[in-house]
Chain A
């Protein structure tokens, strides 16, 4: 059995499984038994996969690729005919009674939560959010207890345009009248199939439920709940429908629900299909939802489920990670990948808020997390979604242009926090712990403008062999460069400076010449200057300014100074305050950390992360040695970013330690705010640590470069990802690196003589030890 999951076990005399399977495998002898074939046909019509006469290992392998494994497979072989017929009849009866389908609990794919803990419930609501087609439904339990925070959210649909206007809560779609409520249960998010399961513990006839957001039919939610018939009540009359819409002047969300109720042997099942639609200009009418719902009802729950399993299986076939020696890290990475996959939809633009659609934290605002942490992950997962993220920024270029103009600058300046229309929605004040503070990031954290340009170029490099930008993307890069050209100041000695900014390390505000900001601006100017649309005079001017822009590199010390005057601050290390990760500003106060060299997250080191070519050669290890002990990791983005850098510096064990922290941020609610949503930036950072950190994947001039490093705890690592229009598979162990691709691909190995390289005929090695 693939992935090592057991097939349903039963004694030969047992003629009842007690759960609903997803597939039946029958050998020729079984199929020839009287009465078996009609039953198999019936099951197939009901949406159950049926494989007849195939060798068992091949059949199981085939089912596994469709997301059906373990207990979800019923194998009929040497049973007496009566037993075989009884088993098939049981399955037919269960499907007809709309009993909640079974689940294969594979610990390498399942996030399991035991018990009903009111203090933990909102966290699991975030973790268990299911999304499709840009519609997210938090993982609230069906009876909607008052300690829950159920939400339906839609990508890019906001309450309004102000700083406090978060994502618009849509109609409630999962509540069921369940009395008395469940007091102990086991909930399982099956990452393999994108389904959420629940089973009550300790009841004779337990409440069971299953739900999924259909990725085969985007915008469709399917829910089934069963309980003792005196315990559960429907919300709609059977066969009934309900339409509900929520809207503002800035768009809305509508939900059309269809419900069926069935009763069988004292168990009542409530099945609900909900088609959800959203619109960015006005509350939607029911037309699109009606079309979706009609399609879904004619497909039927069980066929929808089969589609869901198969569609997720296809996702995992293309993009996944396997770490045989480290199941916990592997599960954490798959959880991160799951939520990254859930960001994708088929809209023309994609606004990725800091918590995705898993909660209303951060008001759904779009930060640099989206451009620098999520987008580079999505280019390797779903390039179309990454393109939609770029489009979100491109569509808001006029607003960015207007802002630059209003501030007396040229070009375009993007906002630190963006939402509906691209105006800056950063709040003016907030609190660091209990300390009330003015918030200056909206005014001063300007690197976002270059980050947006970087994301557009990065996307093009990873998805197009030519690496060329579209016209609109070129305009964006050019206008952001124009902003920097008008923003920087020239000193009499000819050096160029960017003064009064905040870098990624937000513990130090109003600094001059932040190395990261300057390096990003320099890169932005040089990249734009290479465009043919830029006139010769402008090209010369931008290149001159770029060359004149200081970056804080101290050739004697061999490191970059984070900003002018940083080296003169108190040389405090973060462990002098507390064990990282720690919100050092909350602990010690803002003034205290501002006087010291303790920083919130990688800042200089982000140059090495995003623009290794812009950093002084050989400076990564020295910058890492200097800044790592000063980094508090007080941002949830920090551990993964630092992990990637350790991996690139060849310090794979240190990288793994930080990656593990990053992967526990939401699963263990390390920051106490996962109830407001999953940190999708950290998810993106974790995935980048694997692809760009441990694999050392980079794309230059239409070639994939690889430079794998493994921590000592891992014997091997296999990663599948998208690159340059190909599905790429890399398997690395201590001695070998195997690369395969779905089509022609040029790969440049960068490991000097450490491993032997192998590949299929589709991959051509270029240079390096494998050539």
Chain B
């Protein structure tokens, strides 16, 4: 039986447990809890990664405030749901999901399987794509026709049909969190390359420190889709 492992440091964090249960429900797996014992951060991180490397672990949950968090999310091979430092407002279930996409196949493919699962559970899934200097299209010929052509192709390439696409411009981190806030989402699902110094790290950092929504980080090439 596959399961999602909630990584607990110190006292039991009910929000991590609740998030673990909610995401496990989305993935269709059980949950288990892993209490991190004493030791240096490096030792504890190593032990956690060892546990999460088990064949039957398909995902994990951890608090952004946990000392092992950074080491886990940057090295683990499975998706990890992270509870922001300030905690989340509520974690009853997952009925609204936000998928931040950057227009790259890498980011989209990472979350495609989870997007489909969310859609299958009747969750309201919104993808947000933020235009900045690195993602803005070269041309936008005519407002109605270009929008139709561009969004149709973007949707075709990266999203299940029923996912709503929300286009924004500005700083991706600001816009993603604003979109999450406005839509009242229960979960942000983000594909990333596990580098905290580049790519989508700004969104990750800001979601941990300034957000109130759990973030499911899906490493590029994560093994979720093939094993659940």
B53 touches A (CB below 8 Å): no
How many angstroms from the CA of A431 to the CA of B156 in the assembled complex?
19
For residue B138, give the distance in angstroms from its CB to the closest CB of chain A: 4
Residues of A within 8 A of B157 (CB): 118-119
B126-147 interface bits toward A, Cβ cutoff 8 Å, 1 = contact, 0 = none: 0000011100111111111111
Contact of A636 among B103, B141, B147, B169 (CB under 8 A): B141
Contact A430/B149 with A147-B156, A578-B136 known, Cβ cut-off 8 Å: no
Nearest residue, chain A, Cβ from B135: A587
| A672-B153 contact given A431-B147, A434-B169, A586-B131, CB 8 Å threshold | yes
* Residues B131 and A433 in contact, CB atoms below 8 Å apart: yes
Give Cα distance in the complex from A671 to B139, angstroms: 5
Question: A585 at the A/B interface (Cβ < 8 Å)?
Answer: yes
B152 within 8 A of A: yes
- B157 smallest CB distance to A (angstroms): 5
Q: Is A437 a contact partner of B149 (Cβ separation < 8 A)?
A: no
A418: interface (CB < 8 Å): no
Residues of B within 8 A of A582 (CB): 133, 136, 138
A433 CA to B144 CA, complexed, in Å: 10
Q: How many residues of chain A get a CB closer than 8 Å to chain B's CBs?
A: 44
Tell me if A635 is interfacial: C-beta within 8 Å of chain B: yes
| Contact indicator A634/B140 (Cβ below 8 Å) | yes
Question: Which residues of chain B come closer than 8 Å to A581, judged between CB atoms?
Answer: 138-139
Q: How far is the CA of A118 from the CA of B138 in the complex (A)?
A: 22
- Tell me if B149 and A361 are in contact (CB < 8 A): yes
Q: Is the CB of B138 within 8 A of A434?
A: no
Pair B143/A362 contact, Cβ less than 8 Å = no
**What's the least CB distance linking B142 to chain A, in Å?**
7
Which A residues are CB-close (under 8 A) to B145? 354, 361-363, 365, 427, 430
Task: State the CA gap A462–B208 with chains docked (Å).
Answer: 66
- Please determine whether A587 and B141 come into contact, CB atoms closer than 8 angstroms: no
Q: Is the CB of B149 within 8 A of A636?
A: no
Q: State which of A147, A365, A433, A633 has its C-beta within 8 Å of the C-beta of B138.
A: A633
When distances are taken between beta carbons in the complex, the residues of chain A under 8 Å from B137 are 583, 586, 670-673
B166 interfacial contact with A, CB 8 Å: yes
Could you say which residues of chain A place their CB within 8 Å of the CB of B103? 672
| CB-defined contacts of A634 to chain B, threshold 8 Å | 138-140
Q: Is there contact, CB below 8 Å, between B153 and A673?
A: yes
Contact B167 A433 (CB under 8 A): yes
> Are B153 and A675 in contact, with the CB atoms below 8 A?
yes
Instruction: Say yes or no for B75: interface residue by CB 8 A criterion.
Output: no
Residues of chain B within 8 A (CB-CB) of A118 are: 157
Given A119-B105, A122-B156, A434-B168, check contact A586 B149 (CB 8 Å). no
Contacts of B139 in A (CB 8 A): 581, 583, 633-636, 665, 670-671, 673
Q: Does A439 contact B (CB under 8 A)?
A: yes
The answer, yes or no, to whether A589 is at the interface (CB within 8 Å) is yes
Residue A58 at the B interface, CB < 8 A? no
Interface residue from A435, A585, A635, A672 paired with B150 (Cβ < 8 Å): A672
Q: Which of A163, A430, A636 has the most CB of B within 10 A?
A: A430
Set of chain B residues within 8 Å of A636, measured between Cβ atoms = 138-139, 141
What 0/1 pattern do residues 389 to 432 of A give for CB contact below 8 A with B? 00000000000000000000000000000000000000101111
Take A431-B167, A672-B154 as given contacts and tell me if A583 and B149 are in contact as well, using a CB distance cutoff of 8 Å. Answer: no
Q: Is A689 an interface residue (CB 8 A)?
A: no
The residue on A at minimum CB distance from B143 is A430
User: What number of residue pairs across chains A and B have CB atoms under 8 A from each other?
Assistant: 122
- Shortest CB-to-CB span from A111 to chain B, Å, is 20
Taking CB atoms, residues of chain A closer than 8 Å to B143 are 427, 429-432, 437, 439
Indicate whether A585 sits within 8 Å of B140 (C-beta atoms), given known contacts A122-B156, A431-B167, A672-B153: yes
**Assembly CA distance A292 to B26 (angstroms):** 58
Taking CB atoms, residues of chain A closer than 8 Å to B166 are: 434
Query: Is A236 among interface residues, defined by CB-CB distance under 8 A?
Result: no
Is A676 part of the contact surface with B, judged by Cβ < 8 Å? yes
In the complex, whether A524 has a CB less than 8 A from a CB of chain B is no
Query: Which residue of A is nearest B169, CB measured?
Result: A433
The listed residue with most A CB atoms (<10 A of its CB), out of B131, B133, B142, is B142
* B138 with A583: CB separation less than 8 A: yes
Take A362-B142, A583-B136, A636-B139 as given contacts and tell me if A673 and B167 are in contact as well, using a CB distance cutoff of 8 Å. Answer: no
A-side contacts of B138, CB under 8 Å? 581-583, 633-634, 636, 665, 670-671
**Does B133 contact A587, Cβ atoms closer than 8 Å?**
yes
Bound form: Cα–Cα A637–B150 in Å: 17
A441 on the B face (CB < 8 A): yes
**B151 to chain A: closest residue by CB:** A431
Separation of A508 and B95 alpha carbons in the complex (Å)? 42
**Closest CB-CB distance, B134 to chain A, in whole Å?**
9
Which B-chain residue is minimally distant from A669 (CB atoms)? B153
B171 CB to closest chain A CB, in angstroms? Answer: 12
Q: Give me the interface of B with A, judged by CB distance under 8 Å.
A: 103, 105, 131-133, 136-150, 152-154, 156-157, 166-169
Interface of A toward B, CB cutoff 8 Å = 118-119, 122, 147, 163, 354, 361-363, 365, 367, 427, 429-435, 437, 439, 441, 577-578, 581-583, 585-589, 633-637, 665, 670-673, 675-676
3 tightest A-B CB contacts, nearest first: A434-B167, A430-B143, A430-B144
Supplied contacts A430-B144, A586-B140, 13 more A-B pairs, CB within 8 Å: A147-B156, A363-B145, A429-B143, A432-B147, A583-B137, A586-B136, A587-B169, A589-B169, A634-B140, A671-B140, A671-B141, A672-B103, A672-B154
A sample of 30 inter-chain contacts (CB < 8 A) reads A163-B144, A361-B148, A363-B145, A429-B143, A430-B143, A430-B147, A431-B143, A431-B147, A433-B168, A433-B169, A434-B169, A439-B142, A439-B143, A578-B133, A586-B136, A586-B140, A587-B133, A588-B169, A635-B139, A636-B139, A636-B141, A671-B140, A671-B150, A672-B103, A672-B154, A673-B137, A675-B149, A675-B152, A675-B156, A676-B153
